């Protein structure tokens, strides 16, 4: 178990709602659905109502300071079955070309996979963050519909996914002028995204620049680590809730 999974959940019953496509850019076709992930009648572009409200607030702040930019929604709600599918898919990708893996090699690959993927737990006490409707994977996009340079793609299995990777690279004494320039740009853009999200009440995943959460176990645990002992997890597994209205 990860530390945040020990946080108890006090389910609010707040509904899942569809993210308005007129307010945000969506990553389309959706990358996991394109692979065949089993969404069924659900959508990767759902969130809890309170999370969506805060996301709209973050977008408003972003466009006040950067009028030509918008938040790009890469992924939001993820049923446990989709989490399982993507964990297995990622394992297969990492293991591709490797034959007759021994137990140590297999375990090493799983550890790599779980650097960015939560365990697809069906236990209602330890839901994957995205299965609560309280987590969203996002980036930035400009007025031409082009991705803003963030240094690395979402879901990359490398140290570049760590939020402060490029800030550290920019300060490295052995970095070339080009490396430093590109790193400074990526670090700046990551910080802009983080600033507007945290100002709206979100917390950022410690190991992923793109993952932000609000109201789930990870959010409560991160808040508690910063001294807010009043923070509680109010979102559990969202598949136990009523299905949102389709728009």
19 in Cβ contact with 45 (< 8 Å): yes
Helix ranges (H only) for 74-150 are: 80-95, 103-113
pLDDT of residue 45: 98
Least confident range of 160-164, 177-181, 225-229 = 177-181
Q: Is 93 a catalytic residue?
A: no
246 pLDDT more than 60 = no
In this structure, are residues 190 and 169 in contact, taking their beta carbons and an 8 Å threshold? no
Give the pLDDT band (50/70/90) at residue 244.
Answer: low
In words, the CATH class of domain 3-240 is alpha beta
> Helix (H, G, I), strand (E, B), or coil: what is residue 98?
coil
Q: How confident is the model at residue 99 (pLDDT cuts 50, 70, 90)?
A: confident
Average pLDDT over residues 172-180: 89
Instruction: Report pLDDT digits (tens) over 75-88.
Output: 999 999 999 999 99
| pLDDT tens digits for range 49-78 | 999 999 999 999 999 999 999 999 999 999
Residues 21-29, mean pLDDT to the nearest whole number: 96
Domain ranges of the chain: 3-240
**Secondary structure class of 50 (helix, strand, coil):** helix
Extract the tokens encoding 161.
């996914």
Quickly state the pLDDT bin for 2 (edges 50, 70, 90).
very high
Segment 4-18, tens digit of pLDDT: 999 999 999 999 999
Looking at per-residue pLDDT, the higher value among 141 and 174 belongs to: 141
| H helix intervals, the chain | 31-35, 49-65, 80-95, 103-113, 165-170, 177-199, 217-225
Q: What is the pLDDT of residue 1?
A: 84
Q: Are 59 and 70 in contact (CB under 8 A)?
A: yes
pLDDT > 80? residue 243: no
The catalytically annotated residue of 156, 203, 208, 245 is: 208
């Amino acid at each position: 178990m990860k530390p945040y999974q020990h946080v108890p959940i006090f389910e609010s019953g707040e509904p899942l709602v569809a993210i308005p496509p007129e307010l945000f850019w969506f990553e389309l076709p959706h990358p996991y659905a394109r692979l065949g992930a089993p969404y069924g009648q659900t959508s990767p572009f759902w969130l809890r109502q309170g999370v969506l409200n805060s996301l709209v607030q973050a977008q408003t702040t972003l466009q006040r300071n950067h009028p030509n930019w918008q938040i790009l929604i890469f992924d939001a709600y993820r049923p446990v079955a989709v989490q399982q599918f993507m964990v297995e898919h990622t394992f297969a990708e990492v293991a591709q070309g490797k034959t007759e893996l021994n137990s140590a090699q297999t375990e090493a690959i799983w550890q790599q996979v779980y650097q960015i993927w939560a365990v697809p737990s069906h236990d209602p006490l330890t839901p994957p963050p995205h299965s609560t409707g309280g987590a969203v994977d996002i980036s930035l996009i400009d007025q031409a519909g082009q991705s803003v340079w963030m240094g690395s793609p979402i879901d990359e299995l490398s140290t570049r996914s760590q939020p402060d990777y490029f800030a550290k690279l920019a300060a490295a004494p052995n970095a070339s002028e080009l490396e430093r320039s590109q790193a400074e740009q990526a670090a700046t853009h990551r910080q802009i995204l983080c600033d507007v999200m945290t100002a709206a009440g979100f917390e950022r995943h410690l190991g992923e620049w793109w993952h932000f959460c609000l109201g789930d176990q990870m959010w409560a645990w991160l808040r508690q680590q910063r001294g807010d002992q009043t923070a509680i997890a109010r979102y559990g597994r969202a598949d136990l809730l009523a299905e949102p209205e389709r728009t």
